[in-house]
Amino acid sequence: MGFLRHIFRRDRKSRYTSLRPSTLAVKHPAETADQEIKRLWQTARRTALTIGKRQEAVDICTKLLDLITPADQEHDRGEVFHNRAMYYRMLKDYDSAIKDLQQELHFAQNRGQQQRVRFCKKLIDETRQLQRRAQIAQQGGRKADFFDQMTTQAQKLWSDSPESGPAFDWLFQQLRDSDADIRTEAARLLAQPPKSLEKLVNIYNAQHKTNPADAGLAGRVLGRKIDTNYPNTSPAQVAKSMFGTDIDFIEATCFHCGYHNEAIPIPPNAGKNSFKRRANPEHAPYSVSVICDRCGQEYFLIWDADPT
Ligand SMILES: [Zn+2]
């Protein structure tokens, strides 16, 4: 008898848990298709707030993607891909997250939503970085140890302790490392604590005319931090409100390898004037130093007249 009751309880419990997600997805009898989509949309967002329920949120988004056809003008299919990508990211399934963000990117490109296109590209880059970090941690070895060391130093940037100054200087040096993974991680860590951002702004402001190498490194971290999700707002306007400083950002290919580098800091008026790319700044009246994201070599954008 006890055994039977045990089986019965187990059976009831497992049926209850396995039925629950599909219960959420079952259409209520009196619902219109539109009401069903709205209900599922809200349920997915609410469900994703609970750490153990992200897979359930993914499943609801998958159901929504069945209901919203690509031709549907009423509902934003791209937004469902976007949210599902974020839930995949929380589950550390980076491949699926990138695939969904690429779907959202196509959606935004087809609708000519330029701001959203930029935001999607930024999220795809960010997700690739998260994936790369997870791979490095999983592989272990010296590089994983070095990443742990960088994380330890970065934690000091959040405090007022005397160690925060040397920690900043040490991480700043890693922006010049020959390894692209280390440069990217250093930039990511420096871009988070408010005190670190303030130091980067000060370095850029004080040194962009006298020390292009340091100013270029500092400005580039700020450029990657710029939020691209403001409609009808230029990067310079966003920088002004985020950092309170006059700085604009452009893209320019590497002098050495041709790689397309982004978020290069320049004075706000400099973008109107033409510039050249060189391996060294020679006696240029104004130059901006760039360390290429791919080859790690330094090159310069130079202006024939000081644009500041
Ligand atoms: Zn290069």
Q: Which helix (H) or strand (E) holds 251?
A: strand 248-253
User: Is the backbone of residue 282 left (phi > 0), alpha (psi -120 to 50) or beta?
Assistant: left
Instruction: For residue 171, report the distance from its CA to the centre of ligand 1, in Å.
Output: 22
Instruction: For residue 173, report the distance from its CA to the centre of ligand 1, in Å.
Output: 19
Instruction: For residue 215, report the distance from its CA to the centre of ligand 1, in Å.
Output: 19
Write the pLDDT tens digit of every residue in 122-161. 999 999 999 999 999 999 999 999 999 999 999 999 998 9
The residues near 157 (Cβ < 8 Å, ≥ 6 apart) are: 164, 167, 168, 171, 189, 190, 192, 193, 195, 196
Residues linked to residue 289 through DSSP beta bridges, in sequence order:
300
Rounded CA-CA distance 213/204 in Å is 10
Instruction: For residue 98, report the distance from its CA to the centre of ligand 1, in Å.
Output: 25
Q: How many CA atoms lie within 13 A of 297 on its CB side?
A: 13
pLDDT at 165: 96
Pair 172, 191: CB distance under 8 Å: no
Pair 68, 48: CB distance under 8 Å: no
Instruction: For residue 129, report the distance from its CA to the centre of ligand 1, in Å.
Output: 19
Kindly list the domain boundaries of the chain, sorted by start residue. 2-134, 154-303
In this structure, what are the phi and psi dihedrals at residue 304, rounded to the nearest 5 degrees? -75, -20
| Residues around ligand 1, an ion, CB closer than 5 A | 254, 256-257, 259, 292, 294-295
How far, in Å, are 37, 39, 52, 182, 197 from residue 26 at the CA level? 11, 11, 21, 48, 48
Q: Which helix (H) or strand (E) holds 76?
A: none
Name the percent of the chain lying above pLDDT 90. 77
State mean pLDDT over 24-52.
86
- Does the domain spanning 2-134 belong to CATH 3.90.320.10? no
pLDDT at 14: 38
Instruction: For residue 20, report the distance from its CA to the centre of ligand 1, in Å.
Output: 53
Instruction: For residue 128, report the distance from its CA to the centre of ligand 1, in Å.
Output: 19
Rounded CA-CA distance 272/261 in Å is 19
Confidence of residue 6 (pLDDT cuts 50, 70, 90): very low
Closest by CA position to 267, among listed 228, 298, 308, 225? 308
Write the pLDDT tens digit of every residue in 219-260. 999 999 887 777 778 889 999 999 999 999 999 999 999 999
- Pull the structure tokens for residue 238: 């966003």
